[in-house]
Amino acid sequence: MLFQTLDFGVLLAVVLVLIILLRTHSLQLFMLLAASYVFYMWWNPLYILLIVGSTLVDYVSGFRMGLREVGDPKRKKWLWFSVLTNLGLLGTFKYFNFFAGELNVGLQQLGVTAALPYLNVLLPVGISFYTFQSMSYTIDVYRGKTEAERSIVRFATYVAFFPQLVAGPILRSTDFLPQLRGKVINLKAANLRSGFHLFLNGLVKKMLVADQVGRLVDLIFDLPQGLPSPIIALGAFAFAIQIYADFSAYSDMAIGVARMMGFHIPANFRYPNFSRSISEFWTRWHISLSTWVRDYLYFPLGGSRKGIARTYINLLITMLLMGIWHGAGWNFFMYGLFNGVVMVIERATRWRTAIGDPDPWGMTLHGWAKARVFAVSAFKWLIFMYLRMLSCIFFRVQDTQDLIYSVKKYIFFDFDFTLGSWGLAQANPFLVAVITGAFILLHWFSYRVGGFAGWLDERPATVRWLIYFAAGFALFALWPSERVAYIYFQF
């Protein structure tokens, strides 16, 4: 069930009406769980067994650990039961066929005719998200950072909460479980309006930017062999726009739907395209995943506390996992490795920018100080964008030969601007250019005002309705003829 479909609109309307009609917390909780399971079963009803199974394993594990004191060795057994079960499910469905294929190729080269069978199953949508989310709960219970949840219904709702179930943000139990406890949900006009603005912002980014620019990306990277360097670079730039607009759109809509119901979900993006280094980028991009691997992998490995060499190794391991989390393919391995190597170089050369700097572009400064800060940031941003676009090629191009060709063309730029007969007109280049230019300008405006949806919350009703009308007209005129799933659904 996609956010931009009538099916989801009906589901959301039913949920909001039932929140009003059901005036006890327990009934509202049961309703949210049922709606979440209906939402998930819309793709494949059988896969509900996976999320229910993962939920039961982690509920029981957390419950059993909660019966024992911190430090009791039996707590670790239940932790391993949870971790191995979740990673086993994830590994089986997401990585088994890849490793089986690689092993079969190796066996054939050795003259061995036996081969591992392939699993003839589709990847369960959102499995990487809800397994990490559920697993983080048992780890936090083991560490004593949160109490074991007694209510199976409440825990199941936390795991399967439908707005963010299939593409995040990844919720922490310490943030979300308290919101599900003990109070009747009351819809408020301010939450409904603010949530609607976030949803509309995401809908526009998805339908008018990501899906339009995506046509150009597909034309370039589905068959990149023979294309000149400028076209490969154009494809990398277009994909950087597409994947940000697509994924941040889903996060905006998920956060907006939750806010309509009175729930708070933390932001998953903080204007990553204005970063000035790869290290800063990963504090702004997919924040729920980057903080997850930081807290549950990088810090347990030792972080930066065990010397420079160990720090570099920990960074590489963390970023490799970040890459492999996205999918079973050598391109994702290279994506993670590339980001890890760049982050190690940035740390070694002290290139890292001041993460969390409230004014990285010198907007509050004046005169020469403003020009100097802006010039330095602009230079660092250009270096960052070159590396970011290169990483986009690793992420997007899955065929190994196509990936090698595209990376070579990008790095060893040939300045061949002939278009040839590669079918530029199919992507409607004028429309894509207009949309991309408008998006960049609006993105800069949103960055300056601290968020377009928040800015819209504070406008007079007349201004809001003018924007509603303009957005509605643009969506009606440019709505894609084919439904395009969110890129991160495959993860």
| DSSP code string of 204-224 | HIIIIIIHHHHHHHHHHHSS-
- Quick one: CA torsion of 5, 10, 12, 15, rounded to 10 degrees? -160
Burial class (CB in 10 A: 0-12, 13-18, 19+), 270: middle
Where b means 16+ CB within 10 Å and e means fewer, 322-343 reads bbbbbbbbebbbbbbbbbbebb
- Quick one: CA torsion of 272, 274, 279, 285, rounded to 10 degrees? 0
- Residue 269 and residue 288: Cα distance in Å, rounded? 9
- Residue 389 and residue 236: Cα distance in Å, rounded? 5
Token readout for 434 is 């207009």
- Residue 248 and residue 64: Cα distance in Å, rounded? 37
The answer, yes or no, to whether the previous bond of 169 is cis (omega within 30 of 0) is yes
Burial class (CB in 10 A: 0-12, 13-18, 19+), 274: middle
In sign, the C-alpha dihedral spanning 448, 449, 452, 454 is positive
**Percent helix, strand and coil across the chain, each rounded to 5?**
70, 0, 30
**Structural contact between residues 394 and 338, judged by C-beta atoms closer than 8 angstroms:** yes
Q: Which residue has the tokens 């530029």?
A: 424
- 326 flagged as catalytic: yes
Cβ atoms within 10 Å, residue 287: 20
Token readout for 337 is 């490795």
Burial class (CB in 10 A: 0-12, 13-18, 19+), 109: exposed
Catalytic residue among 197, 286, 326, 443: 326
Catalytic residue numbers, as ranges: 326
